[in-house]
Amino acid sequence: MQKKVLYMLAFLLLGVGWASAQVSSVTGTVTSADDGEPVIGASVLVKGTTTGTVTDIDGNFTLSVPAGAKTLVVSYIGFQTQEVAVAPRVTISLKSDDKLLDEVVVTGYTTQRRASFTGAAAIVDKEALNKKTDASFMKSLEGAVPGVQMNNATSMPGTFGSVFVRGRGSLNSGTAPLYVIDGVPVNAENEGSSSTSNNNVDPMSALNPSDIENITILKDAAATAIYGSRAGNGVIVITTKKGAEGATTVNFEMKQGAVSVGNHNMDYADAKSSMDLYAKGWVAAGRAADYDAAYKTLTKNYGWDGTSSTDWFDLVTRTGHYQDYNLNVSGRTGKTGYYLGLGYMDAEGIVINSDFSRFTGRLNVDSKFDRLTVGANTSFTYSVKNGFSQGLSGTMNSPLVAAVSLMKPFYTPRDANGNYTHIDEVNPLAVNDPELGNINRTKTQVVNLSPYLQVDLGRGFYVKTTLGVNINDLNEYGYNSAIYDPDGRERNGSGSQYTSRTTVVTWTNIGGWNKTLGDHNLNLLLGQESQRKHYSYTYLTGTDFPFAAVGQRELSTAGQWKDEQAELREARLASYFMDGHYSYADKYYASLAFRRDGSSVFGSNHRWGNFWSVGGKWRLTGEEFLKDNRTITNTMLRVSYGTVGNQDIDWYAARGYYAANHNYNSVAGIAPEQIPNPELTWETSKKFDVGFDLSFVNRYHLSVDFYNENTSDALYETPLSRSTGFKTLIKNIAAIRNQGVEVALNGTLVRNKDLNWTAYVNMTYNQNKVVELANHQAIKNNYTIIEEGRPYRQFWMKEYAGVDRETGKPLWYLKEEGNETTSDYSKAAKRYVGSADPKVYGGFGTSLTWKGFDASLAFNYRMGSKVFDFGASFTGWGMNNRPALKRIVEDSWTPENKDAKNPQYIFGDPNQATQRSTRFLFSGDFLRVSNLTLGYTLPANLTKKAFMNRVRIYGSVDNLYTFAAKDFVGYNPETYDNGYIAWQYPASRTLIGGVQITF
């Protein structure tokens, strides 16, 4: 009775609509297609207006509609939204909105109903992708998908960041997932001469997020085994937009905004405080008799006027401008569908001389002629990226390195005549002068072309052939200024140009059979695929730029040519595969996949490999004991097991070969470059997954997965005896394991005529462990160790124990265990002190729409990882009169401040306080407000008068605030995948406003 009263109140409050002068009346009934019962409180709206009502306790409604209205939209929680034509009397039967049954999963080769899909996969739709404002759509996945770990150590626009799907699955070979765009694998390798300096272009930045319909992340063996040797690190399937049924639709979107430095705690001391610190350090080191003498001498040495102070970090950072424009036209005319998209974006980085601009075009067309379907998906991207080295060793002509490691707050950037000062010490403003300074520019052109033809043979049989062509042209040019860069001045300017082309051609032929017989459903797929990779590059260098003073800095103006290099490589892959899915009564499901790959990159004795998977699923809610349960509306148990591989190594790693350019006495010659390894074989990952999916009242959906992935025959670059004449050889020597749990929960909290409120939360726990190494011998590095039974990214260094209260000296723990300390750095033992891999990561958020307003808030988090500041002694912590952090000035030991957190500042650091230890190993925990969006959609009755179907205006903020661990000191707790930070490009905050218009 109480429930009926509530619905009656809802009817009285929401059942009143406005109408124009001429109206017609519609009466109707809304029932459930499952049991024929009336749906109480269903929303009935006139499409494109706010005119509406709700159904009464018998499922009936009466609605006055404006003259000319053609369509009603009927919706209710737990049912599919339905549109019906306006008529005096209508009857609507709503079908259950069981998303787990009706959604589809795109695997690249096929599209499957989610109900029959036995694997583990996550789908991200276009709405979620469009909320972030980044050149790469991959940034939108951070915190949105369980099992996907982003390593975004830099905010430099267009710059690569690594991605792990369910942890790092390899030691030395590639760790990136396979990317498939509209069924065609594409090149996603870390390419270019800048790859070693963390300045290379992200390959995925070539894809315009506005052109993407959805992204599917395939995780377990049942989902990925069909890709065989390339699926060891997971598969990311991108589906671009196509022409939809209906009239032509034109969409235009414009974004404009500002990019600024995000919150951080890297605050540097001003000139007066720095001079005070330096003077005390000189006295402590015995370089001056007393403080006043030291202060006076240092003031003179640095030419300081005693009052001025320069914030060099502030000078090399800025508020950048962000702009993004997208126009697309889509529709279907007759039997031909089309999508045309054009885009332009330009993003200025928060550090000078860093920016990214991109032009994109896409045309997707398909036509159906009886049993024949032909189509093509095509795209073109041209981009220009300006940046600089972000190498962990520190490149002095980087504006960040120069600002925080070389320039003192006593220095002024220009003299009284406006000329740059301190050029010999790398003035970052001079080195990055837009007319005469350095150049670090990367141009890319990416072409994707995939024509296809499919023939329906009848009786459920079909065949399809697809030709995929992916061409990536890259041109990198670096110039060291002859005027302002100390390195360049020695040679009157120096330039280097790296030009490469990577071509991937994939030809796929498949045949399928789909058959339904009563309660039995069978889907079979057989396929053959061949792939050819071609890579070539040239490298040119030149010096002596005679016209550098007037801005002629391109390589063609060099007076002398130096090194010239050229290289050509090819790789082939031949494959045969099958995929089968069976279901009975939409309750019991089974899958089987098999693939045989032959790859040219492996040894002659192990060129072919077999990969397979089996999977099963049971839908409990299809059973009689849960069939009519209105609380538990969907429950499924899943299990899968199988093998996949990894062939992402140097294409000639198994081959012995000679290389040219070994000349003697001006006579051309060749020499052995590498010894053969015919036993080199695949990395093989054995993947097990068990999970369940649970839905309550068709509003709340829970998914839980447990996975265990063991990689055997892991590839690792091993050292060789010097007597061989070679340094290293890649061998299959190791095993690594990733084991974890994924949890994802989302739901609709409130949904009625005006209000729709949803929320989500996800969590991934992953444990990475090295299982086996050759001869069971640990691989020891300076600060890390690869050892059986421990994570791959295990930190191993001397553990800092604080400050000796009486002497101000730094302390370290003496032995591998225990609390005994020493002030002698050389005597301290190394300890296992944590891993770069997070133990738990994920995200949560909420979205709300009310009438025309919409709002969303998203967070992402990470817990349990460590971050090591590799360059601490050069970035504010050092004791060699470099720029100092405020925390060093304010909290270093003195006789008056014996409880300080930092050791006594002594010039030259005789006590080795800044030697690398856990003093600079911080917690990587953080919680980030990753996005806040507010929007408003104008009433349709107003916009249609201006011939616009929909107009939405909105504002958005990315990286609103980051809450880092208390001990963390830096610009961003996110790191490279090795856990290191040094001269880090700060995290950026992006504030934009935009408008979306549909015609």
Structure confidence by residue, pLDDT tens digits, 571-618: 999 999 999 999 998 899 999 999 999 999 888 888 999 999 999 999
Compute the half-sphere exposure of residue 254: CA atoms within 13 Å on the CB side of its CA.
Answer: 4
The pLDDT tens digits for 914-927 are 999 999 999 999 99
* pLDDT above 80 (res 193): no
Dist CA 72 CA 24 (whole Å): 13
Lowest mean pLDDT among 172-181, 463-472, 725-734, 790-799: 725-734
State the burial class of residue 403 (Cβ atoms within 10 Å of its Cβ: 0-12, 13-18, 19+): buried
The pLDDT tens digits for 851-887 are 999 999 999 999 999 999 988 999 899 999 999 999 9
Contact call for residues 743 and 704 (beta carbons, < 8 A): yes
Q: pLDDT-derived band of residue 77, with 50, 70 and 90 as boundaries?
A: low
- Using alpha carbons only, what angle is made at residue 540 by residues 539 and 546, rounded to the nearest 5 degrees? 160
Spatial neighbors of 18 by CB under 8 A, at least 6 apart, are 50, 51
The pLDDT of residue 983: 85
What is the three-state SS of 475-512? EEEEEECCCCCHHHHCCCCEEEEEEEEEEEEEEEEEEE
Lowest mean pLDDT among 41-50, 78-87, 299-308, 480-489: 41-50
Q: Give the single-character DSSP code of 918.
A: G
Q: pLDDT-derived band of residue 699, with 50, 70 and 90 as boundaries?
A: confident
Contact call for residues 997 and 176 (beta carbons, < 8 A): no
* pLDDT above 90 (res 7): no
Dist CA 898 CA 274 (whole Å): 20
Contact call for residues 651 and 569 (beta carbons, < 8 A): yes
Locate the DSSP E strands across 431-460. 439-458
The pLDDT of residue 35: 63
Q: How far is CA 749 from CA 50, 752, 757, 839, in A?
A: 22, 10, 5, 30
Locate the DSSP E strands across 349-493. 355-369, 372-386, 439-458, 461-480
Q: How far is CA 898 from CA 806, 901, 903, 919, in A?
A: 7, 9, 9, 18
Count other C-beta atoms under 10 Å from residue 935's C-beta: 18
State the burial class of residue 15 (Cβ atoms within 10 Å of its Cβ: 0-12, 13-18, 19+): middle
The token pair at 239 is: 């589906």
The pLDDT of residue 15: 38
Spatial neighbors of 59 by CB under 8 A, at least 6 apart, are 29, 30, 31, 37, 38, 39, 40, 42
* pLDDT above 60 (res 330): yes
For residue 445, report the phi and psi dihedrals to the nearest 5 degrees: -130, 125
The token pair at 49 is: 């207006």
Q: Which residue has the higher pLDDT, 245 or 34?
A: 245
Q: pLDDT-derived band of residue 663, with 50, 70 and 90 as boundaries?
A: confident
State the burial class of residue 25 (Cβ atoms within 10 Å of its Cβ: 0-12, 13-18, 19+): exposed
Contact call for residues 488 and 538 (beta carbons, < 8 A): no
Go through 887-902 and write b for each residue having 16 or more CB atoms within 10 A of its CB, e for each that does not: bbbeebbeeeeeebeb
The token pair at 892 is: 């270093």
The pLDDT of residue 394: 64
Dist CA 120 CA 741 (whole Å): 12
Kindly state the average pLDDT of the residues 117-145.
87
The pLDDT of residue 582: 93
Q: Number of helices and strands (H, E) in the chain?
A: 12, 50
Mean pLDDT of the chain: 89
Dist CA 148 CA 435 (whole Å): 42
Dist CA 619 CA 614 (whole Å): 17
Q: How far is CA 57 from CA 11, 96, 755, in A?
A: 9, 19, 21
Contact call for residues 440 and 386 (beta carbons, < 8 A): yes
End-to-end CA distance of the chain: 47
The pLDDT of residue 860: 95
Work out whether the CA dihedral 413, 417, 418, 419 comes out positive or negative: negative
Q: pLDDT-derived band of residue 46, with 50, 70 and 90 as boundaries?
A: confident
Dist CA 486 CA 492 (whole Å): 10
The pLDDT of residue 5: 38
Q: What is the CA radius of gyration of the chain?
A: 32
Q: Which residues pair with 571 in a beta bridge?
A: 533
* pLDDT above 60 (res 17): no
Q: Which domains does the chain have, with CATH numbers?
A: 22-94 (2.60.40.1120), 130-243+250-258+319-793+836-868+946-959+972-998 (2.40.170.20)
The token pair at 757 is: 């409120």
The token pair at 195 is: 């790859």
Segment holding 215, helix H or strand E: strand 212-218
* Cα 631 versus chain centre, distance: 37
The token pair at 904 is: 């006594």
Lowest mean pLDDT among 421-425, 747-751, 752-756, 769-773: 752-756
- Reduce the DSSP state of residue 548 to 3 states and report it: helix
* Cα 949 versus chain centre, distance: 34
Contact call for residues 893 and 903 (beta carbons, < 8 A): yes
Q: Give the single-character DSSP code of 823.
A: S
- Reduce the DSSP state of residue 171 to 3 states and report it: coil
Contact call for residues 962 and 263 (beta carbons, < 8 A): yes
Q: pLDDT-derived band of residue 102, with 50, 70 and 90 as boundaries?
A: low
Strand pairing of 355-369 and 372-386?
A: antiparallel
Q: In terms of DSSP H, where are the helices of 235-286?
A: 271-285
Dist CA 226 CA 110 (whole Å): 11
Go through 126-137 and write b for each residue having 16 or more CB atoms within 10 A of its CB, e for each that does not: bebbbbbbbbbb
Kindly state the average pLDDT of the residues 969-984.
88
Strand pairing of 988-998 and 950-964?
A: antiparallel
